[in-house]
Structure 1
Amino acid sequence: MVPITGKKQNRLAKEKSPYLRQHATNPVDWYPWGEEAFAAAKAADKPIFLSIGYSTCHWCHVMERESFADPEVATVLNEVFVPVKVDREERPDLDGIYMAVCQAMTGNGGWPLTIIMTPDQKPFFAGTYFPKKSSFGRIGLLELAKKIQELWRTRREELLAMAAHNLDLLQEEAEAAGTGGQLQPEVLDRGFVQLAQLYDEINGGFGFAPKFPTPHHLLFLLRYWQRTGEAKALTMVERTLTAMRYGGIYDHLGGGFHRYSTDERWFVPHFEKMLYDQAMLLLAYLEAYQVTGNSLFRQTAEEIYTYLVTVMRDESGGFYSAEDADSEGVEGKFYLWSWPEVHQVLNPEEARLVTAYFNLEPAGNCRSPELPDGANLLYITAELPAVARRLEVDPARAEELFVSAKARLLAYRQQRVPPFKDEKILTDWNGLLLVALAKGGQVLQKKEWIHTAEETARFLLTAMRTPDGGLWHRYYRGEAGIHGFLEDYAFLIWGLLELYAATFKANYLAEALALTTVLQRNFLDPARGGYFQTATDAELVLVRQKELYDGAIPSGNSVMLANLLKLARITGDPSWQQEAERSSGFFGDRVGRAPVNYTHFLSALDFAFGPGREIVIVGRRGEEMTERMLALVQTTYLPRTIGLFRPAAEEEPVLASLAPFTKELTALDGKTTAYVCRNYQCSMPTTDWGRFQELVQG
């Protein structure tokens, strides 16, 4: 828990959010989002100063230290406004609404997000970070507050008109009906072409600095490569994953990825570590390993897993949200090394190898105004055997030295002051991680991963379940709260479908279907299709938005399109397919204009366009042939395939009630039997291993 000092506390001291508690001793008279704040603003006839951020946001920390902890700034903010603090990770719905306003008004956005609005939540001013005093063309918070105070007193009608205009724009966007009709397979081609245009041929990745991982781009490219045989699609994936793994964006000692690279080379990162990045990158490395067999991709996946279970896992079974970029007030300090420090920790033989392998320099290898003088980042330009040859060290000896040196460096680093860890647990991000853990259990055939995934699912399906069968969004220190959003349902349903594929336990399918039913009731737009981010009974939000953009993580609508298509194939229920078609039609125009912005949606369309395949294996768990067949389905890259297992020993298995078409399938002559259908055509059932391999891998 974020400690509360002996300083005078404001209302945020009672909140569960670690981010809000970080501001609990500010002299700013903060309110949490709620009726109390709105009533206070109306009573005092003041605008609301809304500040949105999150606990591991570097510039949020800067603005807090520079302004919100400053008595002079606090006095002005308290005089002019009713100040309200929101954790964007707790309230993604509010963040989405006001970020859209900021982008519309200023052309950009980010965090900290600063919104000034009327007491009834209508925004008339937006921005991001503001210094205390005006500097280099950026207005300071003190000057801004005084200007707003004067405008509120003398030109309020203009501010109210601007607020009404902003609200109209939000509502028009939220209510806009789709006009694009059903998308055709050529949209996948255009998505690939647009990604290829953005691709950095030298460094891997897409676009320029700052460069983000965007793993859903890579997941789509793998599917496109399999569909078309386009070699460049696979090259883009392999080059990007290798470059990220070699770069400073990767934690070479502790595992896991930092948020993004500040340069185009994946060299100097923004050092925070987010759970959702680990989940999506884990999934990308696993699928790339499935396709290529590249041991580096497998090693990276295993190291991410180790980082997660040793550093980010709560005893409840859930996983924490993030680790900060800063420690001791300096970004990246926990991860950086000086030349003398490395030689102090390691013996001369280890130091010689490590400094060459990680490209360390006596004066430091990263000269950035954000980082201390003499700082070295660990990054790789050549594999260890190549470095050993250059140093004329026996490769086996080099490996031995590297293992011991890495252990020494990691142990030494653990003695440093660690970055702040945001220990709130979010259903949506844990749902994404459930997907990756279950996929890893399949691809790597690791029982430990599956056990971890099942423990995570158990936590999410118990501690995060509301009394009416819905979901809570946030869990912190034993207490769940905040009603779930679209992403909570969509990502958990996806995770449960993958967990079924890892375990073939039908109860996970049943849970996925139950949650989808709740989702349909509370989030679906019955008139136009698609899903709102907030439920029908959402309180204190200006508009109900439909998010589609696949940004740092896939959108809930993109994931639900894939979920619906899979459920339709699993259950044989055409209503799920029809809802998927309606959703695709609603968003068709938007996706058709710029498919590169919706690559997870494109992955769902790839599944829809087929050719699809259903594999049902009838047998007994534990029998050699049954396990061989199931393992082949799990380890082969089959992104458009549904795999099911029907227990031969049960007359009325749970699966038969969920997928009625499996009810009459039997084990021929008592042997494990595979039923394989491809593109709506079924082959004769087979008990022969060779024939089964042909049907699966052909």
Structure 2
Amino acid sequence: MPNRLAHETSPYLLQHAENPVDWWPWSDEAFAEARRRDVPVLLSVGYSSCHWCHVMAHESFEDRATAEVMNDHFVSVKVDREERPDVDAVYMEAVQAATGQGGWPMTVFLTPDAEPFYFGTYFPPAPRHGMPSFQQVLQGVHQAWADRRDEVTDVAGKIVRDLAGREVSFGGSGVPGEEELAQALLGLTREYDPQRGGFGGAPKFPPSMVVEFLLRHHARTGAEGALQMAQDTCERMARGGIYDQLGGGFARYSVDRDWTVPHFEKMLYDNALLCRVYAHLWRSTGSELARRVALETADFMVRELRTEQGGFASALDADSDDGTGRHVEGAYYVWTPAQLREVLGDSDAELAARHYGVTEEGTFEEGASVLQLPQREAVADAQRIDSVRRRLFEARSARPAPGRDDKVVAAWNGLAIAALAETGAYFDRPDLVEAAVAAADLLVRLHLDDAARLTRTSKDGRAGANAGVLEDYADVAEGFLALASVTGEGVWLEFAGFLLDHVLARFTDEESGALYDTAADAERLIRRPQDPTDNAVPSGWTAAAGALLGYAAQTGAEPHRTAAERALAVVKALGPRVPRFIGWGLAVAEALLDGPREVAVVGPALDDPGTRALHRTALLGTAPGAVVAYGTVGSDEFPLLADRPLSGGEPTAYVCRHFTCDAPTTDPERLKATLNR
């Protein structure tokens, strides 16, 4: 018989709807039930494409004996961290403070007042490698609650007081300047891996936000070292197993330093960010590899993540059926030499093995290899390789596919909108721009209420119940701003303004300018989450700073620019110390130091060839964070276009800072030179 999760929209929660565990969704009713029964709350947090979440579910949550213990002694609450990043952030902070590490599934035991007192992540079904079994943990927590209640509540109270004291300190005031950005670059250089690209050791995550900073820093200062780190990192990732050499798109991270073996789940946010990064790398260098990866990644998102409603699904699982009934990580993606021969025949299989680095020993498990591009030299027979790739892709498509989390997350769709809009504009792919517009339409239609408040998630055309958090407002505004620049449709600028007004009114501390991850009127947790550092995506804090700055450049709105500058004070403090973890903030700081530049393109009509040539040139400018307004003479959709006449009757571009403009130009080459210096 299904439990209470059967009524939820989250695919992750629905995966647990048939468990024998008497699961509750996160709700006041669950904590009221714990108070009524005088038992602790067992909080389990994960997400649908999480490998170890599936493992623990199979080992423990599907086991009737374990479920019986959970049902007898706890109120068990299951949370999708992608639906409730605020709940996840608050308790993950407690887990990391108590244990020095974190991860998912996250397992936290709470008092009925939601105060945490015992922590962990994955627990095995039997004692293993010094870890207690999950049932041992359950019994131990139950006994402590029954026999040492005062001690438990004292611990919980101390933890909550400690968390309450962890407000973000700016460590100073003012915006980051040349010195802080130079120190950040030096810090990144020290942590850079010159042999393999990327930063630090294993596991290696794609450093999308850091690469964006490096590209912007090079564009503004000419620092060749910054560009070299960005180029080499992007090439190593694109040639490694973390990139899907057949279908395009990136896995979540590499378990090794060489980018060879990925954790195979594919997340929308990674692919949106990396699509945009590779498009920007091509814009800066003309790299054919960057162009190919940007387009393949965009095509992957549209082909495999787009939903029937026009939005983009959250993720593809790492695991899938290996054809024998086993659910195995990476089964969909890896190849043995025998499998190559079966699809391609002996001669082409030998070519494919050499081209993609498939060996008899294998680079993964059980003699299988992850496809890579180890050879840098030009392929002698590109047509034959194209045929091999197409046949392997078709054969792989017949394998049992990984599961898809069809949940549409507002923030991640905002990132995808920005990436697809720009990639489509750069490479003359109107279908990609159309996909971005369709996703934006869905967000407006389904996620935005009459007061322009965002709902975080939807599924199958049904909006979820959870309010948007700061990253939702910031990333959707970023996507709308990019769409406005690409399409010349001012309605997207207007919608971005509605969202950013909420950021100012409901997420910003008036006294300090600090930003919170949840709105002032959101559900109260044991603390109000607040984190300016990047994780797998830009922090809501720095994403908001970037969107506020871009909106101010488009409109001249001083409150938005002031808010952006106040928010960037944290980048001044953290950029020189932990540049890897505040890359987007550093990228926004580059835009601030450059102006950012404002480009107004006016013409007799939007489809006029001269107008389109200037517009395309403006979009391809490398000036950090530059905004583009595009319209006809007399258009009132963009404030930047006001009082911008044609020059000599020809389509004209104006390059401005703070609405003060250089001499207008009708020449795309002159505009290009202005924006690329």
TM range (shorter): over 0.9
1:466-489 CA deviation, whole Å, 9 max, x = no partner?
232211111111210222111111
Whole-angstrom distance in 2 between the partners of 1:228 and 1:690: 21
Q: Are 1:596 and 2:589 an aligned pair?
A: no
Length-normalised TM-score, structure 1:
0.93
TM-score (normalizing by structure 2): 0.95
User: Hey, what's the Cα distance between the residues in 2 that align with 1:690 and 1:53?
Assistant: 51
Unaligned runs of 5+ in 1: 1-7, 387-394
Structure 2 SS opposite 1:308: helix
Q: Deviations over 1:327-357 (max 9, x none)?
A: 1211111111122221111133321211111
Query: Are residue 16 (structure 1) and residue 16 (structure 2) matched?
Result: no
SS state of the match for residue 211, structure 1? Answer: coil
Asked whether the 8 Å contact 1:607–1:640 carries over to 2, the reply is yes
Partners of 1:442 and 1:635 within 8 A in 2? no
Which residue of 645, 654, 674 maps to 2:630? 645
Give me the whole-angstrom Cα distance separating, in 2, the residues matched to 1:664 and 1:342: 63
Instruction: Summarize the Cα distance change of 1:456–1:45 in structure 2 as closer, same or farther, 3 Å threshold.
Output: same
Aligned-pair distance for 1:103?
Answer: 0.6
Structure 1: which amino acid aligns with 2:463? Answer: A
CA RMSD of aligned residues (A): 1.8
Aligned partner letter, 1:614: E
What's the CA shift string for 1:435-493, capped at 9, x where partnerless?
A: 11112123223222211111111111111112322111111112102221111110000
Q: Is the 8 A contact 1:177 1:528 kept in 2?
A: no
The one-letter amino acid of 1:622's match is D
Residue 181 of structure 1 pairs with residue 173 of structure 2? yes
Does the 8 A contact of 2:204 with 2:257 survive in 1?
A: yes
Going from structure 1 to structure 2, the CA distance change for 1:678 and 1:475 (only over 3 Å counts) comes to: closer
1:282 equivalent to 2:261? Answer no
Unpaired segments ≥5 residues, structure 2: 322-326
The 8 Å contact of residues 318 and 329 in structure 2, kept in 1 or not, is answered as yes
For residue 518 of structure 1, report the CA deviation from its aligned partner. 2.5
2:615 aligned partner, one-letter code? L
Question: What is the CA distance between 1:640 and its match in structure 2?
Answer: 3.9
Corresponding residue for residue 644 of structure 2:
665
Q: 1:70 and 2:66 equivalent?
A: no
Contact 1:486 1:533 in 2 (8 A): yes
> Which of 350, 355, 359 lines up with 2:348 in the alignment?
350
Distance 1:691 1:227, change over 3 A: closer
Distance 1:179 1:399 in 2: 55
Shift of 1:79: 2.0
1:302-337 CA deviation, whole Å, 9 max, x = no partner? 111121111111121101110101112111111111
Question: Which residue does 1:92 correspond to in 2?
Answer: 85
Match of 1:529 in 2: 513
How big is the shift at 1:533?
A: 1.3
Q: Which amino acid aligns with 2:484?
A: Y
The answer as to 2:444 corresponding to 1:461 is: yes
Measure how far apart 1:689 and its partner are.
5.0
Which residue does the alignment assign to 1:3?
none
Matched residues in 1 for 2:239 and 2:670: separation? 41
Q: Is the Cα–Cα contact under 8 Å of residues 553 and 596 in structure 2 kept in the other structure?
A: no
Counterpart pick for 1:495 among 474, 479, 502: 479
Choose from 337, 354, 363 the match for 1:366: 363
Contact 1:444 1:635 in 2 (8 A): no
Change (3 A) 1:49 1:692: closer
Measured at CA, do residues 427 and 141 of structure 1 come closer, stay the same or move farther in structure 2, by a change above 3 Å? same
Q: How far 1:210 sits from its partner (Å)?
A: 0.8
- Distance in 2 (CA, whole Å) between partners of 1:586 and 1:215 is 20
Aligned to 1:474, which of 427, 440, 457? 457
The letter of the residue matching 1:344 is: E
The Cα of 1:665 is off from its aligned counterpart by 2.1
Alignment partner of 1:410 is 2:413: no
2:363 corresponds to which letter in structure 1? C
Separation in 1, partners of 2:182, 2:676: 24
- From the superposition, tell whether residues 147 and 631 of structure 1 become closer, same or farther in structure 2 (CA, over 3 Å): same
Task: Measure how far apart 1:40 and its partner are.
Answer: 1.1
Which residue pairs with 2:621 in the alignment? Answer: 636
Number of residue-to-residue matches in the alignment: 669
Alignment of 1:66-215 (within 5 A): 66-174=59-167, 176=168, 178-182=170-174, 183-215=176-208
Look up the SS of the partner of 2:313 in the other structure.
coil
Task: Give the conservation status (yes or no) of the 8 Å contact 1:438–1:502.
Answer: yes
Residue pair 1:384, 1:399 contacting (<8 A) in 2 also = no
Match of 2:603 among 592, 609, 619: 619
Between the aligned partners of 1:295 and 1:204, the Cα distance in structure 2 is 19
Q: CA deviation at 1:668?
A: 3.1
- 1:283 CA drift (Å): 1.0
CA distance in 1, matches of 2:537, 2:670: 39
Describe the superposition over 1:619-668 as per-residue Cα deviations: whole angstroms up to 9, x where unpaired.
Answer: 122222211111111123222423222411x3x5222xxx2x64222123
1:234 and 1:586 mapped to 2: Cα distance?
25
Query: 1:348/1:596 Cα in 2 relative to 1: closer, same or farther (>3 Å)?
Result: closer
Aligned residue for 1:333, secondary structure, equals coil
Structure 2 counterpart of 1:674, from 653, 674, 677: 653
Q: Distance in 2 between matches of 1:455 and 1:574?
A: 31
* Cα deviations by residue, 1:404-424 (Å, 9 ceiling, x for unpaired): 222221121112111111111
Query: Which deviates further from its counterpart, 62-71 or 572-581?
Result: 572-581
Distance in structure 1 (CA, Å) of the matches to 2:38 and 2:286 = 65
**Offset at residue 12 of structure 1 (A):** 1.3
Equivalent residue number for residue 336 of structure 1: 334
**Equivalent pair of 1:325/1:419 in contact (CA under 8 Å):** yes
Query: Alignment identity in percent?
Result: 38
SS at match of 1:496: helix
Preserved CA contact (<8 Å) 1:443 1:634: yes
- CA distance in 2 between counterparts of 1:693 and 1:377 reads 41
The change in CA–CA distance for 1:587 and 1:266 in structure 2 (over 3 A counts) is closer
Partner amino acid, structure 2, of 1:403: D
Shift of 1:615: 2.2
| Correspondent of 2:544 among 556, 560, 567 | 560
